[in-house]
Structure 1
């Protein structure tokens, strides 16, 4: 059972749960909703299940690349069969969506749309240049909006959704660059039978398999997105959504993000990408803490 929990990537799921909780707390603080409302807990469980389902089906689809990039994961390591992972993912999608249906129609709508996007991303958009990164960033940011909707509002979550989306977009690009070697092998295996959407990212040259776009160009897009996240970070405070405590904590996130921008600008070797990705994730965690502090204090 622990392998199935690992397949869900529980840390990522818990970050999604925290984002929904922050969205819920904002509405509670602004509208005086009851903290013990059943919908609050249904929303937290639903997002955990749907996020886990998306991670599981992604591992089901990416098992070839994961043999190189992430051999320790449950499917490539042989601890879970691919067919079992697919069934488990479908079950999680159904349970999470049904649970959202008991909250309200807007929560159900977001749950259905996000579930479909997770599936479409896995099968069609994952290898499309920047489009897949944008979809994942929307999905990450939409957790704040979902938290608002669960508690019967939707106005406050858009600003937080925008900021979270910018930082995540930057990290998704870095993760793509980090996983290039495994994706190249997956591309070569596919091209012997059927060239899939991954061909939109790679081309064959006399020197081997190359990205269709320059790595420096991708890094520039990532840098630009992260700089925007820093520049717009005071927005929740300036619009009165979050309090002074938000500005204190978000400063740490901004410092980490700017350090990552500098590391991208001076990038020299692949090992740097893994460090940058981990540090952007750390900055995103501080961003979550800033949202939480601003909502509670």
Structure 2
């Protein structure tokens, strides 16, 4: 039945649209980084014990702050300020499709931002850095999406901002919940943050037409699709090489072997995407590459935390 101009969408439709604004698929990386940071804090006392229910609940609360609330906030506010771009690149998104009004979209990211800070303040009892990092992540999200600064307009600032907000800060939150920050944990967090920036450069190829029309200076607009792929591949592979060197330096030969596999396995899909940069080949590359990345993050956190002697 066709909806009239004055009728409102059904409640279930509105709830689904609000959930889409927060983009649940993007929560996965932040949630994983919280647990990686917790694992990297060590298994001693203080430290994270994955068999301890209280520890799991505490890490889960931090994951709720960084994932559904914090990352959801960044996605929601980005949709709000990118509604004209989405009308070109993805008109089925909640705002350009008319399923969510502008007032409702504003309420969405305001609630998510408030939830992020409330949990951050609660977790301040474990480290005063946690609410500071929560606030910093919200500020980065605003600067990334809101004019006139809009960091995403320039490729030198946009992807690194996402790497810091989604990966670095969430890893540090997970670690600081259970112990003092260590250099090995910080180095891993930085490598994974750079890796995320490389993957985000890849993501630019999907929206190049809309970026050109609206004057966004993405890497793909500045250099072209294939040159963007070369830059992204280089950043990703350099991060993996850094992990390989650290694994060999630490004497973890099995981990070094896995990193080498993570370097080699995606190469055929990198070549395929370079030759034919379509959305389908982009998805194939991510399907092969991202599971390796996630496993590497987990293994490295276990190693730094002392779980593998």
- Calculate the TM-score normalised by the size of structure 2: 0.77
Would the alpha carbon gap of residues 224 and 201 (structure 1) be closer, same or farther in structure 2, given more than 3 Å must change? closer
The offset of 1:93, in angstroms, is 1.1
Is 1:92 matched up with 2:101? no
The offset of 1:269, in angstroms, is 4.3
Question: Residue 292 of structure 1 corresponds to which residue in structure 2?
Answer: 298
Would the alpha carbon gap of residues 9 and 239 (structure 1) be closer, same or farther in structure 2, given more than 3 Å must change? farther
Question: Residue 64 of structure 2 corresponds to which residue in structure 1?
Answer: 45
The offset of 1:160, in angstroms, is 2.4
**Counterparts of 1:229 and 1:258, CA distance in 2:** 15
Question: Residue 105 of structure 1 corresponds to which residue in structure 2?
Answer: 128
Question: Residue 2 of structure 1 corresponds to which residue in structure 2?
Answer: 16
Would the alpha carbon gap of residues 40 and 230 (structure 1) be closer, same or farther in structure 2, given more than 3 Å must change? closer
Is 1:137 matched up with 2:156? no
Question: Residue 177 of structure 2 corresponds to which residue in structure 1?
Answer: 150
Would the alpha carbon gap of residues 31 and 160 (structure 1) be closer, same or farther in structure 2, given more than 3 Å must change? farther
The offset of 1:43, in angstroms, is 1.0
**Counterparts of 2:18 and 2:71, CA distance in 1:** 13
Tell me the alpha carbon deviations over residues 56-111 of structure 1, each in whole angstroms, 9 at most, x when there is no partner. 11111111111222222222222222321222112111211221122121111111
Question: Residue 119 of structure 1 corresponds to which residue in structure 2?
Answer: 142
Paired residue secondary structure (1:233): helix
**Counterparts of 1:158 and 1:269, CA distance in 2:** 37
**Counterparts of 1:171 and 1:159, CA distance in 2:** 19
Contact kept? 1:66, 1:76, Cα under 8 Å: yes
Is 1:279 matched up with 2:280? no
Would the alpha carbon gap of residues 91 and 201 (structure 1) be closer, same or farther in structure 2, given more than 3 Å must change? same
Paired residue secondary structure (2:97): coil
1:234-273 residue pairs with structure 2 within 5 A? 234-235=244-245, 237-238=247-248, 240=250, 246-247=255-256, 249-263=258-272, 267-271=274-278
Paired positions, count: 275
Contact kept? 2:244, 2:260, Cα under 8 Å: no
Structure 1: state its 5+ residue gaps. Answer: 188-197, 203-209
**Counterparts of 2:135 and 2:238, CA distance in 1:** 30
**Counterparts of 2:228 and 2:135, CA distance in 1:** 31
Would the alpha carbon gap of residues 55 and 201 (structure 1) be closer, same or farther in structure 2, given more than 3 Å must change? closer
Measured on the aligned residues, the alpha-carbon RMSD in Å equals 2.9
Match of 1:75 among 95, 99, 102: 95
Question: Residue 222 of structure 1 corresponds to which residue in structure 2?
Answer: 232
**Counterparts of 1:7 and 1:252, CA distance in 2:** 36
